[in-house]
Amino acid sequence: VFDHVVRGPEDPILGVTVAYNKDQSPVKLNLGVGAYRTEEGKPLVLNVVRRAEQMLVNDNSRVKEYLPIVGLADFNKLSAKLILGADSPAIQENRVTTVQCLSGTGSLRVGAEFLARHYHEHTIYIPQPTWGNHPKVFGFAGLSVKSYRYYDPATRGLDFQGLLEDLGSAPSGAIVLLHACAHNPTGVDPTPQQWEQIRQLMRSKALLPFFDSAYQGFASGNLDADAQSVRIFVNDGGECLVAQSYAKNLGLYGERVGALSIVCRTADVAGRVESQLKLVIRPMYSNPPLHGASIVATILKDRNMFQEWTIELKAMADRIITMRQKLFDALCSRGTPGDWSHIIKQIGMFTFTGLNSEQVAFMTKEYHIYMTSDGRISMAGLSSKTVPHLADAIHAAVKR
């Protein structure tokens, strides 16, 4: 009965790792998936995470019971505070409902399913380009996906005029996906002034913001600074949705820990929204996993551990900035044709190099360097040792 099933394509991002794993070359380098590596090229488990896990393991009173459908209460409260700010009026007025979900993707999907059922407008505008999974997450939830201009290849910066025009002509009430910081894949974010203009435009047209916050702390190294875009929208008293991921900033990739917050007009509405989120979640995966959320809650509620986390987070962000400088210097010293200053200007985990898919294919074939075909490289996967190899490959690809 399944004979007709055709083989589906690999995922454009996770499929890069599949191809990388098959490569036998000793110099192979995976700059595809956005996952942090140390200077030794190894995955990193933060010390503070190890410490929290030890505490959890040593606590014999802990059991493995099911969590409620909405997840761990402490985790939810602390997650809302982390992104909205401890002094957020929306939190103080109990207007926020937060549910623990399966990392950023799961949070986006639960939010999308909720909107498809309970929101009057089914069109969502996503930036062009955006994370490859976004259109699928929203499309499969039944929303109609359109895009707004975001990136200008000519300047390798923000197409702010295009963005304003496209959102300005969106139908009133449409949903707009915004990357809270460290835009993936471009590494290009609006300035605070531009965010304010976006907010004014969106509120004047009653466009509903849906923030994807996958990199809080990775743009500037500061958790509060990286949440400003979300906070200006929440502090004006209006509604919004926020999907949070702890994959990158706490390195909890495989634990699948994240949260969806929906900021409502009143506490009463928030309570009703939460009751409907439960009806979305229960038939999908019943309730979320315990371990990752317990790690996060342990760290967020302890002042010292929180402090330790911010230091480790900053160290990861700083190492990436160092890699940007090293790659930029390496290309300059090779005299690689073109302006590569965007490598040091872009922020977050990725550089959107401007390399085309043929150049990427060449680098994979000849240099065993793996990256997504849109020319995005994960700076977090690079180390001082591998920068020269990457610079050689880019140089050769550009000179072809």
| Active site residue ranges | 131, 212, 248
CB-nearest residue to ligand LMR: 34
In whole angstroms, what is the distance from residue 105 CA to residue 103 CA? 6
CA 25 to chain centre: 30
| CB 354, min distance to ligand LMR, A | 18
In whole angstroms, what is the distance from residue 35 CA to residue 50 CA? 18
In whole angstroms, what is the distance from residue 23 CA to residue 230 CA? 41
| CB 296, min distance to ligand LMR, A | 18
Of 245 and 298, CB closest to ligand LMR = 245
In whole angstroms, what is the distance from residue 114 CA to residue 274 CA? 10
Size of the site for ligand LMR (CB under 6 A): 6
| CB 339, min distance to ligand LMR, A | 25
| CB 173, min distance to ligand LMR, A | 29
- Is 13 near ligand LMR (CB under 6 A)? yes
In whole angstroms, what is the distance from residue 313 CA to residue 218 CA? 7
Place of tokens 């360097």: 369
Choosing from 29, 33, 170, 316, the residue that interacts with ligand LMR (CB under 6 A) is 33
- Is 219 near ligand LMR (CB under 6 A)? no
Contacts of 13 (CB under 8 A, 6+ apart): 32, 33, 132, 133, 372
Handedness of CA 3, 6, 11, 15 (dihedral sign): positive
Handedness of CA 215, 276, 203, 153 (dihedral sign): positive
Of 133 and 235, CB closest to ligand LMR = 133
Place of tokens 């459908």: 69
Choosing from 184, 186, 220, 244, the residue that interacts with ligand LMR (CB under 6 A) is 184
Of 35 and 158, CB closest to ligand LMR = 35
- Is 148 near ligand LMR (CB under 6 A)? no
Q: Do the beta carbons of residue 106 and residue 133 sit within 8 Å? A: no
Pairing of strands 123-128, 144-149: parallel
Q: How far is CA 1 from CA 4, 5, 8, 104, 344, in A?
A: 8, 9, 17, 35, 54
| CB 210, min distance to ligand LMR, A | 17
In whole angstroms, what is the distance from residue 251 CA to residue 253 CA? 6
Of 199 and 248, CB closest to ligand LMR = 248
Of 245 and 386, CB closest to ligand LMR = 245
Choosing from 75, 114, 131, 211, the residue that interacts with ligand LMR (CB under 6 A) is 131
| CB 356, min distance to ligand LMR, A | 19
Of 34 and 375, CB closest to ligand LMR = 34
Query: What interhelical angle do 291-300 and 303-334 show, nearest 10?
Result: 100
Query: What interhelical angle do 387-399 and 303-334 show, nearest 10?
Result: 40
| CB 28, min distance to ligand LMR, A | 18
- Is 187 near ligand LMR (CB under 6 A)? no
Of 103 and 228, CB closest to ligand LMR = 103
- Is 106 near ligand LMR (CB under 6 A)? no
Which residues within the stretch 282-321 sit at the binding site for ligand LMR (CB under 6 A)? Answer: none
Handedness of CA 194, 197, 201, 207 (dihedral sign): positive
The helix (run of H) or strand (run of E) holding residue 147 is strand 144-149
Choosing from 31, 34, 37, 392, the residue that interacts with ligand LMR (CB under 6 A) is 34
CA 29 to chain centre: 22
* Residues found near ligand LMR in the complex (CB under 6 A): 13, 33-34, 131, 133, 184
